[in-house]
Structure 1
């Protein structure tokens, strides 16, 4: 009898691990652990799976990997030769003892580097430090372009080995791809290391090399920000480079500055959560309709109850007569002509929904239909679209600023939105800001809320076109449809959040929109007419009672003789 050997899936022998290195790493981690490292906050994260699944290419580097997360990916490892070339040029240009610099970094910074990453870095100290040093050399050489742009200079020549990747204008496809890779959450390296390498380079140039390195790095990152940001702020906050964890963190602080960076002691607007609480549906209906429930719905229900008790069979007949298939088919015949009339045009969609609803009433629903109804829908911010607001009389005006410059003017009914310049880099840039914000922000998710707002007001290509014509959207994409798809696709990857100032604007816009006569009339018709077959049945019953009374009157007073004596309106005679 043969016995099958059962392999243990958790067997240590199956792990691709060098036992001696593993024991040494455990010993160092426990016995030689520095207490100062515990104070280092994790700053470089993996993108949550719920975000990664929406658009992997926006979060996984396509051209170049920086740091350990994607270093060994075959798709990006081909760039290693260009990294090594950049490191060789750094050694030659600045006469740096690269090996001594590596030894210093390993002794002083290895534990701190590991503490910055939220994942356990399963690699030796030598491999980690060499990887970081080579990646930093490439990054600094790439950022030189943006340092010169920030100073108003134009780079005339790029090293020949990098010329097909990088150009002074930054318009090459490979250059754009690298640019997008630099801002990805998982593609960050600690900024203190970059500053350290710059200090090594500046030692040959200035005695005050620390301040020179800091100033140079800030110019590089400011130039990079101006290249990537879709906003056009007149004034930017003063961000301390020493307080930023990595390149993306610096860009985030410029996009969403804190009170210190804004130069204020406390928040300008302090709104209680209760002030932005959603209004109860019934209260909203009462406030926004022509008549309150006590004046319309109660009267309608009172008449309906009387008719129901007096002659239930007659009511059923009226219901079938009004909402049955014959009447529905009859109503569809002249509908194209009727719906073209200006006043009745706005009633077209509610009437069609009402007919579809009552045509299907009474029919058994299949299990598939029930399942389809129960399927969850993507939660979206509650605000009218751009075209809906425009029809209601709300205006739109561009403002040169950032996210915090969104506002609404009650007097002029104007929604002020920051000018947003959209190109091929914008989606990756904003997605990674949202992802990073979700990982680190203890307060409101400001960038996420902004993308939800833009998704809420831009539903279709027409909405994107409207904002483009008003100068709010500067579109460098192929079409207005791509603009709409960009915002709608991005908001699917984030959950709803609350940002007091922005939510106050949304609340004010909704309040102003609900006060317009078009919206009030539409809500009234949907609530009390198209939303209730009882109302139409009551009208039909009253009409039938009127005809019955008229018939009774004519049977007593001989209406035929009265009608015969009426003058001929056509002017003819028998």
Structure 2
């Protein structure tokens, strides 16, 4: 009993629970696909600092650090800033990491932080057409791995020194004394830094991952940065990437408020929107009207709180569901279903090896944080839509997926494995899931799809059906005239 109480006191009194936000992934997850979680080029922070396969790039990192030093203040200023944050830094990593608490840890943070800042400062000169070199692209992927992070407040304080010199050291000391950057009024400086981060990630990762152009991604995210409150600042670079990808309303709200907003934005009012119902099937004539969209009846009510499994794309197609890319999307979860026209609009995603690294690390990260798992929910939605290569090909034909993997089966395998053994609550896509299932269960939608698939699937088939109908009408008309000629 005393041992339990002693252990409990140790845990509750430990400062590690305050800012603990950089996590160690389970070995089983890393072993499943190590190339998605272990850095290939450069280590950032203590997790992979001494791994042998990364040592050859340490020299290049030092060269970047040296270039950064030539831009601004002395090394002593940067070391002093990180020393003031040292205790807080230890709290951001799990205790089982067994960090050596000495000057080598401080220097590692200084070098890694300045290396990242030098990368970001180069992005100031990037244009949306600037080519991405292979090394730069691989580094950008390493910067968003779960275990390859340093706290963002390190970058903020180092950047403050870069901007303000010795005065920045005094400001950073004041921030460290306040124990959180949220207590320090430095909005212009953090906004500048986040803008650099945004340009870097948009240029290196997001234009090759999302089906949006540079300006669309940058401008929509720039507005978020301008209005971001200190208490909602991202914790590190991976968290910043997630910040860009999740819905805008989710940035500065509690999970409950975010869920309410998601339901409101997705659940369009049905007062003036009626769709053909299964009750249309009472007769052959009503069936024809239903097929032509001529009868409108309110669909049966469904409980929007029940999580509905998404049917695969080819299955939904058999119920007249059409797929389109959402050209107005600003986040991965801008998924809309128009039940009047049976159109499911989904943001375009470009699938390649780098896409899997982004999605896997975001999904893994969301298992630890106290927020809704928006990226996991997107991955789950796509996993439901995709069961086979035929589903991938259907989505690809409609611009929802752009694959660079070659074999569509690889895309199916990617999404099918993303949320395996992952726990999360479905909130944002609940209304869309419910509407899709309602639409699928209306029989006349399947009849219409069958009619279009069997008789209007090619121009020649359509011409044949029209010719047959015209022949039938002419024959019927001739019969009427013949009957009337015998009864003057």
The bucket for the TM-score relative to the shorter chain is 0.5 to 0.7
User: Which residue does the alignment assign to 1:113?
Assistant: 89
What is aligned with 2:121? 144
Query: Where do residues 471-486 of structure 1 align in structure 2 (5 Å cutoff)?
Result: 471-486=399-414
User: What's 1:169 paired with?
Assistant: 131
- Structure 1 window deviating more from structure 2 (122-131 vs 253-262): it is 253-262
- After the TM superposition, which residues 392-471 of structure 1 pair with which residues of structure 2 at under 5 Å, given as runs? 392-399=319-326, 400-401=328-329, 402-440=331-369, 442-471=370-399
Instruction: Tell me the residue number matched to 1:55.
Output: 33
Match of 1:238 among 217, 224, 238: 224
Q: Specify whether residues 70 and 270 from structure 1 end up closer, same or farther in structure 2 by C-alpha distance, changes over 3 A only.
A: closer
SS at match of 1:223: helix
In structure 1, how many angstroms separate the alpha carbons of the residues matched to 2:136 and 2:78? 29
In the alignment, the residues of structure 1 paired with residue 441 and residue 423 of structure 2 have an alpha-carbon distance, to the nearest angstrom, of 22
Deviation for aligned residue 1:76 = 0.8
1:99/1:41 Cα in 2 relative to 1: closer, same or farther (>3 Å)? same
C-alpha displacement of 1:519? 6.4
In 2, Cα distance between the equivalents of 1:111 and 1:241? Answer: 25
Asked if the contact 2:349/2:402 (under 8 Å) is kept, the reply is yes
**CA separation of 1:454/1:97 partners in 2, compared to 1, >3 Å: closer, same or farther?**
same
- Structure 1 residue corresponding to 2:67, chosen from 70, 84, 89: 89
Residues 118 and 39 of structure 1, relative CA distance in 2, 3 Å threshold: closer
Matched, 1:250 2:240: yes
Q: Distance in 2 between matches of 1:466 and 1:146?
A: 37
Contact 1:42–1:118 (8 Å) recurs in 2: yes
- How many Å separate the matches in 1 of 2:353 and 2:101? 38
Cα 1:260–1:406 change in 2 (3 A) is closer
SS of the residue corresponding to residue 397 of structure 1 reads: strand
2:49 maps to 1:122: no
The aligned runs of 1:150-549 (5 Å cut-off) are 152=127, 169-170=131-132, 172-203=133-164, 213-227=189-203, 228-229=205-206, 230-231=209-210, 232=212, 235-236=220-221, 238-239=224-225, 240=228, 242=230, 243-257=233-247, 259=249, 261=251, 266-267=257-258, 268-269=260-261, 382-399=309-326, 400-401=328-329, 402-440=331-369, 442-492=370-420, 494-516=421-443
CA distance in 2, matches of 1:226, 1:92: 27
Superposition pairs for residues 42-81 of structure 1, below 5 Å?
Answer: 42-81=20-59
Q: Tell me, yes or no, if the aligned pair for 1:383 and 1:456 is still in contact at 8 Å.
A: yes
Structure 2: runs of 5+ lacking an equivalent: 1-9, 173-185, 268-277, 283-306, 448-488
**CA distance in structure 2 between the aligned counterparts of 1:71 and 1:470, rounded to whole angstroms:** 44
Shift of 1:187: 0.3
**Offset at 1:255?**
1.6
1:40 aligns with 2:18: yes
Deviations 1:269-320 (A, max 9, x none): 4769xx9xxxxxxxxxxx99x99xxxxxxxxxxxxxxxxxxxxxxxxxxxxx
Check whether the contact 2:229–2:252 (CA below 8 A) recurs between aligned residues. Answer: no
Q: Any conservation in 2 of the 1:397–1:416 contact (CA below 8 Å)?
A: yes
| SS of 1:504 mapped into structure 2 | helix
The two structures, once aligned, show a CA RMSD in angstroms of: 3.5
- How far apart are residue 39 of structure 1 and its match? 7.4
Name the SS for the 1:425 alignment partner: helix
- Whether 1:102 aligns to 2:79 is yes
Corresponding residue for residue 571 of structure 1: none
Contact 1:202/1:212 (8 A) holds in 2: no
Partner SS for 1:187: coil
State whether residues 381 and 453 of structure 1, in contact with CA within 8 Å, keep that contact through their aligned partners in structure 2. Answer: no
CA distance in 2, matches of 1:142, 1:381: 44
Measured in 2, the distance between the counterparts of 1:423 and 1:253 equals 22
Aligned residues: 366
What is the alpha-carbon distance in structure 2 between the residues aligned to residue 473 and residue 199 of structure 1? 41
User: Contact (CA 8 Å) 1:37, 1:111: kept in 2 or not?
Assistant: no
Provide the C-alpha distance between the structure 2 equivalents of 1:101 and 1:64, rounded to a whole number of angstroms.
Answer: 21
- Give the deviation of 1:127 after TM superposition: 1.1
- 8 Å Cα contact 1:176/1:425 also seen in 2: no
Stretch of structure 1 that moved more, 495-504 or 244-253: 495-504
**What's the CA shift string for 1:439-491, capped at 9, x where partnerless?**
11x34322112111111111222211211221111233334333223222323
- The alpha-carbon deviation at position 102 of structure 1 amounts to 1.5
1:257 Cα offset (Å) = 4.7
- Stretches of structure 1 that go unaligned for 5 or more consecutive residues are 1-29, 155-167, 276-286, 292-379, 521-574
Alpha-carbon spacing, 1:263–1:438, altered in 2? closer, same or farther (3 Å): closer
Cα 1:490/1:83, change in 2 over 3 Å:
same
Q: Larger Cα Rg: Structure 1 or Structure 2?
A: 1
